[in-house]
Structure 1
Amino acid sequence: MPEVSTQSLAVPVPGGVLELSWAAVTDTGRRREVNQDAMFASYPLFVVADGMGGHVGGEIASASTIERLHAVADSGTVTPKTIEKALARAVKDIASHPEATDEGTGTTVTGVFLDTSGDAPHWVTLNIGDSRVYLMRDGAIVQITTDHSVVQELVAAGRLSPEEAENHPYGNVITRAVGPSDGVEPDYVRLDAFDGDRFVICSDGLTKELTDYGIRHFLEVNADPADAVSAMLEAALENGGRDNITIIVLDVARRADGDSSTAED
């Protein structure tokens, strides 16, 4: 098991402070030879990419995408516009790489970033593909992103139940990706920033092995993000580890001005 540690940061916002704590882990799993997942977890952007295509094509696609998004985070200006410019550059990187020429080469990308430009802070989720962002709030867990997949389209059309979708033979077929033949505009969802929110950002290597209920369980019994991602990874491996597994857990504590209490590092 990889070693995982929790990082924390206090972010000043109008009326107080957001105290963020997060941990991230990625693992090849038990069936794959290489890890085609990549991730970036550092304020204000937390993202996961799951590559596909050829023996190394997916690895190149996910790494190129995360490298371009890393640069956006370092620039300090994370917006839908800067994200889409970065993804367009990643598409060019992928297309120009001699080992990423397979027609099926590409990557998912999903995550959240904190927007502090307005009167109140907001989280913004972004998504292309079937990696996911979950939010646990007030004891309930909700999948915020919508999968871009054949199975999800069948569910949305009423032709497949969620239970039938879990083991459908087309479960791995996605309908949108960051790649040479696809567009690069993600879906976005804006969310208010609430005290106590917990995000899980993950590749489908986790959701193939754990149900939403299972993810919620490991959040409930592990208050520390590092403990939560480690427990989820261990459970996913025990359940088969059929794919690469990448998990970010991001916790949010909101403190009003004058509140002297602080979150533990």
Structure 2
Amino acid sequence: MAETKTHRVTVAQRPLLLSWAGATDLGRRREINQDAFLAEYPLFIVADGMGGHAGGEIASSSTVARLQAVVAAGEVNGPAIEKALELAVADIADHPETTDEGTGTTLTGVFLVGDGEDAHWVALNIGDSRVYLLRDDRLVQVTTDHSVVQELIAAGKLSPEEAEGHPYSNVITRAVGASELTAPDYVTLDVRAGDRFVICSDGLTKELTDYGIQHFLRANSDPAAGVDAMLAAALENGGRDNVTLIIVQIEDDSDSSSPPEDTSE
């Protein structure tokens, strides 16, 4: 069962309550969970490992550990994250169980920068895990997949419908791995009360359509309840891969007479 945590922020003199929950599951067909995630204010990320029996787990866990150190140091920003990824690449390459040159991991998520007038979200992405945003009751995919099929779609050679069953649907073109350092793509977003993010590995998007993700967000106002509902649905729909997701939401806290305890520490 997922657990909702909270943290208070102030943006443009408005008190806001940030809440989040995350979970990961082996799925129904895998022998090992190669996914990892980090949900600690102000950084929320998902990593989906690949390469060999244990290689993917090494890549994703090494990357998450390096990013957790960034959070602990209180320096969550683009340069600090990229330095952490450089160290993660070295960790992966030096690990005694890393023998596959294809070992690597996706990385996607959001982090909150600032606490005041200049506060904003930054979404980051390497690979085909995704960040979605539900804003004004409309779900949009914030990140762009780094994959062969996405490149074919962008070139007009493949439709989104054709991409779903394409033989190269699992082939990504960018990863955090043992062979090279790859910087993330970044997208900057303003902070709005009512926004809800879903950060997930492709184990979720293989089993739930965008409509399904939107449905579960609308039906569950608590992040933990939404995470549990989406995870259960992904498993029921087949659970063909490891499934990992985080829900992050931000709400107006100015009218709360007894706001919940801050649980982010």
TM-score, structure 1 normalization: 0.95
Deviates more, 1:175-184 or 1:38-47: 175-184
- The correspondence of residues 54-73 of structure 1 with structure 2, limited to 5 A, is 54-73=52-71
* Paired amino acid for 2:92: I
- Give the aligned length: 261
Kindly indicate whether the alpha-carbon contact (under 8 Å) linking 2:10 and 2:116 is maintained by their aligned counterparts in 1.
Answer: no
Measured on the aligned residues, the alpha-carbon RMSD in Å equals: 1.4
- Indicate the residue corresponding to 1:80 in structure 2: 78
- Indicate the residue corresponding to 2:244 in structure 1: 246
Kindly indicate whether the alpha-carbon contact (under 8 Å) linking 2:85 and 2:181 is maintained by their aligned counterparts in 1.
Answer: no
Identity of aligned residues (%): 67
Extract unaligned runs of 5+ from structure 1: none
Deviations 1:189-215 (A, max 9, x none): 000000100000000000000000000
Kindly indicate whether the alpha-carbon contact (under 8 Å) linking 2:253 and 2:259 is maintained by their aligned counterparts in 1.
Answer: no
Extract unaligned runs of 5+ from structure 2: none
How far does residue 121 in structure 1 lie from its aligned partner after superposition? Answer: 1.1
CA distance in 1, matches of 2:70, 2:88: 12
Deviations 1:220-259 (A, max 9, x none): 1111111101010011001100000001000111346xx5
CA distance in 2, matches of 1:204, 1:260: 36
SS class of match (2:198): strand
* Paired amino acid for 2:98: A
Cα separation, partners in 2 of 1:220 and 1:263, compared to 1, 3 Å: farther
- The correspondence of residues 78-227 of structure 1 with structure 2, limited to 5 A, is 78-116=76-114, 119-227=117-225
Deviations 1:102-141 (A, max 9, x none): 0110000000000116732100001000000000001100
CA distance in 1, matches of 2:117, 2:229: 37
CA distance in 1, matches of 2:205, 2:151: 18
Cα separation, partners in 2 of 1:167 and 1:261, compared to 1, 3 Å: farther
Cα separation, partners in 2 of 1:220 and 1:118, compared to 1, 3 Å: closer
How far does residue 17 in structure 1 lie from its aligned partner after superposition? Answer: 2.3
CA distance in 2, matches of 1:117, 1:68: 24
Q: Which runs of 4+ in 1 moved over 6 A?
A: none
Deviations 1:23-52 (A, max 9, x none): 100000000000000000010000000000
CA distance in 2, matches of 1:262, 1:176: 46
How far does residue 76 in structure 1 lie from its aligned partner after superposition? Answer: 0.9
How far does residue 13 in structure 1 lie from its aligned partner after superposition? Answer: 3.7
- Indicate the residue corresponding to 2:45 in structure 1: 47
- Indicate the residue corresponding to 1:235 in structure 2: 233
Kindly indicate whether the alpha-carbon contact (under 8 Å) linking 2:13 and 2:116 is maintained by their aligned counterparts in 1.
Answer: no
Deviates more, 1:183-192 or 1:109-118: 109-118
CA distance in 2, matches of 1:149, 1:42: 28
SS class of match (2:177): coil
Verify: 1:38 aligned to 2:36, yes or no. Answer: yes
Kindly indicate whether the alpha-carbon contact (under 8 Å) linking 2:93 and 2:179 is maintained by their aligned counterparts in 1.
Answer: no
